[in-house]
Structure 1
């Protein structure tokens, strides 16, 4: 099966006042559904209070991302699914729960992962 990344940037998720808990509950329900279906690999949101760093092979740490690269933020879910059509269906479920369109990306096959 193929692993898919379903994600959205923080600025895409606009939650009307007083609706945060409803959105959180809906998003958690989709994740629980994915877990029950046996397709869930990982999910979570980037902690935007912690600044990104780059770590070199010698352990040197530099602040920030690669020049010209946007800082990833928002929410991410990785699911392992039998087809792209299945990935589109799950992305649609997450889009409804999070109230914003989702970006769908496919991981390349790696027999070691």
Structure 2
């Protein structure tokens, strides 16, 4: 099976006033469905209040990212699925729950993961 990243940038999720609890409930329901189906690997939202840190091989750390790179934010889910078609179906479920389109990416195969 292949691992897929389903994600959205923070600014894409525009929740109408009074609907945040429904979005949280709906998105958690999709994650619980993925867990029950045995396809859930990892998920979560980037804490946008904590600045990213770029860490070098010698352990030196500086605030920020690679020059010219945008700071990743928003929400991420990794699912392990049998096909791209299945990944599109799960991304659509997450899109409905989060009220925004999702970006779908496929991880390269790594026998060690």
TM-score between the two structures when normalised by the length of structure 2: 0.99
Q: Deviations over 1:84-111 (max 9, x none)?
A: 0000000000000000000000000000
Tell me the residue number matched to 1:60: 60
What is the CA RMSD across the aligned residues, in angstroms? 0.3
Long gaps (5+) in structure 2: none
Q: Tell whether 2:21 aligns with 1:8.
A: no
State how far apart, in whole Å, the 1-side matches of 2:76 and 2:93 are.
Answer: 14
Q: Tell whether 2:27 aligns with 1:27.
A: yes
Long gaps (5+) in structure 1: none
Q: Tell whether 2:97 aligns with 1:97.
A: yes
- Following TM superposition, the consecutive aligned residue runs of length 4 or more in structure 1 with deviations greater than 3 angstroms are none
Aligned residue pairs total: 113
State how far apart, in whole Å, the 2-side matches of 1:67 and 1:80 are.
Answer: 32
State how far apart, in whole Å, the 2-side matches of 1:71 and 1:57 are.
Answer: 20
